[in-house]
Amino acid sequence: MKTKALCAVVCGVAVVGGFAGLHYSGVSVPALPSPSLKQAAVIALAAAASAAPDHSPAFQVAGKPENIELNTALERGLLAAEFEGNGRERVTAALTCKSPAAFQLKVFAGQMFDNGQSTMIVVRSGEVEMVPGKTASLTLETAATRSANKVGSAAFHISYGRMPRLEPLLAYVGQHPEMSAPAIQTAVMALTENLPLSAVAKFAPVSGDLRSRFDNAAFRADTFDILKALNALREIGVKDSAIAMTIDPQLKIEAMIEPLTKALAMRYYGIAPENEWAYWKTELLNGDPSTRHYALFGIARFYPDIALDMLPKWARETKMKSVFRMSAIQALADTQRAEAVPILRRLMDEFGRNTDYGQAASSAARYLDASLAKVAMTQHAVAFRDSKTVSQF
């Protein structure tokens, strides 16, 4: 390129010299304007510029490093990479730059990794700058695509597979950084395997745990994360009825009982604050037979004043089913009120220390005593709402 430019300058000078030689030799030539030295220089520079390609480095302006996707970088030999994953929420890439120029490595959500036993998918995009001859590390947020994944550190390789059904969810996750890894994983499993609640929830199912040929303990989630997953699926257009875990009535009442999940549950299930008491009453009197007694725990936690008066009556009612009487005794401890301790001790004496009800009352009294003592020591109180204006049954 420099040679071409030099030739152009030399040619320009030669032109000037040629005109001069003709003039002094006395040879007759047509009248031509004799260019000045300044004009000749301009002509030479113009010739050099026209000879140089548009992408010549002499005329480029330095910019940002080129963006290159992971698969492309590997195919072009710009990168050496090793991948280690845990089969669930993480893949770490050890990278070495083989490119003569720096570039920005991009790994997009939807990229998959596989090792023959487990398959993972990137749920949030990641990037890292690669510098010639240097190494870098990039940790990617991932999710298992199946419950059969083996959870534990293992080597992985990139996969060219794609899961179009997960694309709307991945787009949603990219816009909601507050979604936790367990919530994302639960949503992914709902779309790829549509697991039932008993295979996903950490709480013990009323109907008993269903046997599975896979050990899915590593993929169980807290109630809050399950609700976040279901909410995400609803927002991307997946119908509730298409998700197996929504069919189980236990999820709704478990979510309503848990103080940290209740606000989210009320929004998800469309329960207005002014209708909360009506919800608990309906659940207790007309709810699913397998979970009706759970409402006693919700009343104890969120309406303790009512519970202190109501639950001892339910515990003493001999015509009441055993599950309701036992739940009423145990729920008294959930009021977190000191007044419940003497009530439980009276029930223990009334039922007898050697009866099932008496033992339940004794255990509940000990639990509540220890809980109140712990609260007093740590100076942290769990506040539950009083509802003196709500009418009882």
CA torsion, ordered 290, 296, 302, 304, to nearest 10 deg: -170
* Calpha distance 387→177 (Å, rounded): 36
Is residue 83 within 8 Å of 152, Cβ to Cβ? no
Is residue 83 within 8 Å of 93, Cβ to Cβ? yes
Q: What is the pLDDT of residues 335-349, one digit of tens each?
A: 999 999 999 999 999
Is residue 116 within 8 Å of 155, Cβ to Cβ? no
- The residues, ordered by sequence, that sit 6+ positions from 241 with a Cβ below 8 Å of its Cβ are none
pLDDT of 9 reads 39
Q: What is the pLDDT of residues 68-79, one digit of tens each?
A: 999 999 999 999
The candidate with the shortest Cα–Cα distance to 339, out of 372, 387, 303, is 372
pLDDT of 209 reads 53
* Calpha distance 72→64 (Å, rounded): 18
* Calpha distance 363→357 (Å, rounded): 10
- pTM of the predicted protein model: 0.77
The candidate with the shortest Cα–Cα distance to 150, out of 210, 104, 211, 85, is 85
* Calpha distance 11→371 (Å, rounded): 98
Binning pLDDT at 50, 70 and 90, where does residue 55 land? very low
Angle at 296 between CA 291 and CA 301, to 5 degrees: 120
The candidate with the shortest Cα–Cα distance to 307, out of 334, 286, 325, is 334
Higher per-residue confidence, 381 vs 301: 301
The candidate with the shortest Cα–Cα distance to 128, out of 149, 156, 107, 155, is 107
* Calpha distance 305→129 (Å, rounded): 60
The candidate with the shortest Cα–Cα distance to 253, out of 217, 220, 290, 207, is 290
Q: Is the pLDDT confidence value at 19 over 60?
A: no
Residue count (the chain): 393
pLDDT of 31 reads 44
**CA dihedral sign of residues 269, 270, 273, 274:** negative
Range 177-192 average pLDDT: 97
pLDDT of 376 reads 83
pLDDT of 377 reads 81
Is residue 348 within 8 Å of 362, Cβ to Cβ? yes
Binning pLDDT at 50, 70 and 90, where does residue 205 land? confident
Binning pLDDT at 50, 70 and 90, where does residue 192 land? very high
Mean pLDDT of the chain: 85
Q: What is the pLDDT of residues 347-374, one digit of tens each?
A: 999 999 999 999 999 999 999 999 999 9
Is residue 200 within 8 Å of 226, Cβ to Cβ? yes
* Residue 54 token pair: 């548009």
- The residues, ordered by sequence, that sit 6+ positions from 127 with a Cβ below 8 Å of its Cβ are 104, 105, 106, 107, 138
